[in-house]
Amino acid sequence: MAGLTSAAFLAKSGHSVLLLEKHEKVGGCVNSFQRDGYVFEGGIRAVENSGVLLPMLRQLDIEMELVKNDVSIGLGNEVITLRSIDSLADYQSLLAKSFPGDAGDIATIFSAIRKISGYMDVLYGIDNPLFLDMKKDRKYLVKVLLPWLFKYLMTIRKIERLKEPVRDYLDRISDNESLVDVIAQHFFRDTPAFFALGYLKIYLDYYYPRGGVQTLPDRLMNRISDLGGEARVKTEVKAVDPQLRQVSDQEGNTYAYKKLVWAADLKTLYRVLDVDSIEDRQTRANIIAKRKAMADKKGGESVFTLYLCVDLDREYFADIATEHLFYTPYSRGLLAAHRIETTSKEETAGSLKEYFRYNTYEIACPVLRDPDLAPAGKTGLIVSTLFDYAVAREIFDKGWYEKFKLLGENTIVDVLNETIYPGIKDRIVGQFSSTPLTLLREHGNSEGAITGWAFTNKEIPVETRLPRIANSVRTPVPDVFQAGQWVFSPAGLPVSILTGKLAADAVTRDL
Ligand SMILES: Cc1cc2nc3c(=O)[nH]c(=O)nc-3n(C[C@H](O)[C@H](O)[C@H](O)COP(=O)(O)OP(=O)(O)OC[C@H]3O[C@@H](n4cnc5c(N)ncnc54)[C@H](O)[C@@H]3O)c2cc1C
């Protein structure tokens, strides 16, 4: 999305644009694929606006049908749907039912969530000014933007104080480890409190492109072509020569550039960059320092995903939850099962079962948003849990990979069958899964990370301050810019779009 956004805005500014993509289709983590007549998402399950996506589409004159995507939250036998900010009360009582002795702590947690939701209102409450044409929108500038800017600056300060990991934040409120787990295990390890607790507000702002999320990158690509831009798929950049200002692909083809926007994994950029070719000593030293700062930093958690083809009508699922459900089967929470032991095959199998059983699942049901996305009378389900790349890699190296995938798939099916979807097990007509290794292979993101750098890194090697996000697209390499989920933290779809636009603006200014 970062590369596509950059390319589209550069083409719109009249520049000659070439987009190189290693995969056979564009979109990266925003992609859909077909299996036996079922359409599934390979990455993000639905897209949030966050004051960024819709204004970007508008500014590029891209029309696309977006279906509202309602998010449900489930615990055990109870499911609630987030339809407005008032639905937080439903989530609060759902937790209070499962943890009747902790009503006071839960109230304190929800009062924090409401406060942070207010901050999110300010942050994403207006269309991001980056996508406005200030010359045309003078009235907007004076009446909306300037008053907002004042509130924004006040809010940013408050948010800066809530960067503590969400688990530590909740631990200070409650000593019930299960309660803390059931809330915090939705998020990556050490996710900052404001980002995790503010997400409930962001869930209200999710959409689904009709036809599948792939429609979004496809429409952007069409627009780039209309504007005269070009794309080459199945073209992997294998070398960047900053002195000659050219890149080479896997077949040795070379492409000259005036400006390069790197919109993929950042460690890869510094690996394929020919630093020695740079004549200026200081520039060389700056690049080497940057490469060193990233070398030992890790990508964030990835996911294990189970794909199910089910011989049940969509109505069966519509009666239970909405199209996008965050479901925790057991109120025990992960507790010690957070750690997966890999010393012996038996121990690994045992701890994996526990991990899959007590975790939280993100369950998406494409056919509930668009009836054309599965054969008549059938339903496709996408069920995922966060999963650590290092564990999947170790299992692969030990030769247990296929068994591990099957164990994960079957454990999740058993849990769904005994909890939220009774009888589903006998109606499954197809199943397969993907792991962090799949995501690494597909998109080339270090550790199969789905949103850039891990919050557990001692230092994040890129910009983390929202007011300074414009700096995030600069690199120490002359005429090379960067965009996407690796250039700012915390990241996700909106940051990829924002940094894509910022990189395009910086290039346009320079040219
Ligand atoms: C399962 C899942 C769920 C998610 N859920 C959410 C969510 O709910 N909310 C949210 O905000 N975000 C979510 N995300 C994250 C979000 O989708 C990504 O952060 C965002 O789409 C990343 O976009 P990007 O352009 O920065 O990078 P990518 O999508 O990784 O794109 C990089 C592109 O570069 C290509 N590439 C890589 N190396 C090379 C090379 N050497 N040469 C040529 N091409 C190359 C890749 O093939 C890819 O197409 C999720 C991601 C996943 C996988």
CA 464 from centre of chain: 16
Q: Is 64 inside any structural domain?
A: no
Domain that holds residue 150: 85-202
Q: Is 102 inside any structural domain?
A: yes
Q: Before 490, cis peptide (omega within 30)?
A: yes
Whether residues 326 and 415 share a domain: the answer is yes
Q: Is 245 inside any structural domain?
A: no
Q: Is 248 inside any structural domain?
A: no
What pLDDT score was predicted for residue 404?
A: 95
DSSP state of 168: H
Backbone angles phi, psi at 366, to 5 degrees: -55, -35
Task: Using a cut of 0.85, tell me whether the model's pTM lies above it.
Answer: yes
Is residue 487 within 8 Å of residue 463, measured between CB atoms?
Answer: yes
What pLDDT score was predicted for residue 70?
A: 97
Whether residues 290 and 332 share a domain: the answer is no
Q: Checking DSSP bridges between strand 302-310 and strand 260-262, what pairing results, if any?
A: unpaired
Domain count, the chain: 3
- 308-319 mean pLDDT: 98
Whether residues 328 and 437 share a domain: the answer is yes
Q: Is 57 inside any structural domain?
A: no
Whether residues 358 and 430 share a domain: the answer is yes
Q: Give the model confidence (pLDDT) of 375-384 as tens digits.
A: 999 999 999 9
Q: Is 183 inside any structural domain?
A: yes
Q: Is 484 inside any structural domain?
A: yes
Protein residue whose Cα sits closest to atom 48 of ligand 1: 28
Whether residues 265 and 372 share a domain: the answer is no
Query: Count H helices, E strands: the chain?
Result: 18, 19
- 313-341 mean pLDDT: 94
Whether residues 315 and 408 share a domain: the answer is yes
Q: Give the model confidence (pLDDT) of 202-226 as tens digits.
A: 999 999 999 999 999 999 999 999 9
Is residue 386 within 8 Å of residue 359, measured between CB atoms?
Answer: yes
Q: In a mutational test of the pocket of ligand 1, which residue from 493, 495, 501 has the highest number of ligand atoms less than 8 Å from its CB?
A: 493
What separation in Å is there between the alpha carbon of 448 and the centre of ligand 1?
10
What pLDDT score was predicted for residue 235?
A: 98
What pLDDT score was predicted for residue 150?
A: 86
Q: Is 416 inside any structural domain?
A: yes
Q: Give the model confidence (pLDDT) of 250-285 as tens digits.
A: 999 999 999 999 999 999 999 999 999 999 999 999
Protein residue whose Cα sits closest to atom 24 of ligand 1: 484
Q: Give the model confidence (pLDDT) of 437-475 as tens digits.
A: 999 999 999 999 999 999 999 999 999 998 899 999 999
CA 138 from centre of chain: 34
What pLDDT score was predicted for residue 303?
A: 98
Tokens 């975790």 found at:
359
What separation in Å is there between the alpha carbon of 468 and the centre of ligand 1?
22
Q: Give the model confidence (pLDDT) of 365-402 as tens digits.
A: 999 999 999 999 999 999 999 999 999 999 999 999 99
Whether residues 337 and 461 share a domain: the answer is no
CA distances from 501 to 1, 120, 126, 265, 313 (A): 10, 22, 17, 18, 42
Whether residues 313 and 426 share a domain: the answer is yes
The pocket around ligand 1, CB under 6 angstroms, is made up of: 1-3, 20-23, 28-30, 43-44, 48, 236-237, 263-265, 268, 303, 439, 443-445, 450-451, 484-485, 491-493, 496
* The pair of three-digit structure tokens given for residue 227, joined into one six-digit string: 């504007």
Whether residues 132 and 231 share a domain: the answer is no
What separation in Å is there between the alpha carbon of 410 and the centre of ligand 1?
28
Whether residues 309 and 275 share a domain: the answer is no
| CATH number of 425's domain | 3.90.660
What pLDDT score was predicted for residue 215?
A: 98
Whether residues 111 and 185 share a domain: the answer is yes
Distance, CA of 377 to CA of 368 (rounded, Å): 12
Segment 272-279 long-range contacts (CB within 8 Å, at least 24 positions apart) = 272/237, 272/238, 272/239, 272/240, 273/240, 273/242, 273/477, 274/239, 274/240, 274/241, 274/242, 274/243, 277/241, 277/242, 277/243, 277/244, 278/242, 278/243, 278/477, 278/478, 279/243
- Does the pLDDT at position 124 exceed 90? no
- Give the helix, strand, coil percentages of the chain, each rounded to 5: 50, 20, 35
Whether residues 268 and 349 share a domain: the answer is no
**Which of 443, 469, 502 is a domain's end point?**
443
- Does the pLDDT at position 125 exceed 90? no
Q: In a mutational test of the pocket of ligand 1, which residue from 247, 270, 450 has the highest number of ligand atoms less than 8 Å from its CB?
A: 450
Q: What is the dihedral of CA 57, 58, 63, 69, to 10 degrees?
A: 60
| CATH number of 504's domain | 3.50.50.60
Distance, CA of 78 to CA of 427 (rounded, Å): 23
* The pair of three-digit structure tokens given for residue 23, joined into one six-digit string: 């995969």
What pLDDT score was predicted for residue 86?
A: 95
What separation in Å is there between the alpha carbon of 22 and the centre of ligand 1?
13
What separation in Å is there between the alpha carbon of 445 and the centre of ligand 1?
8
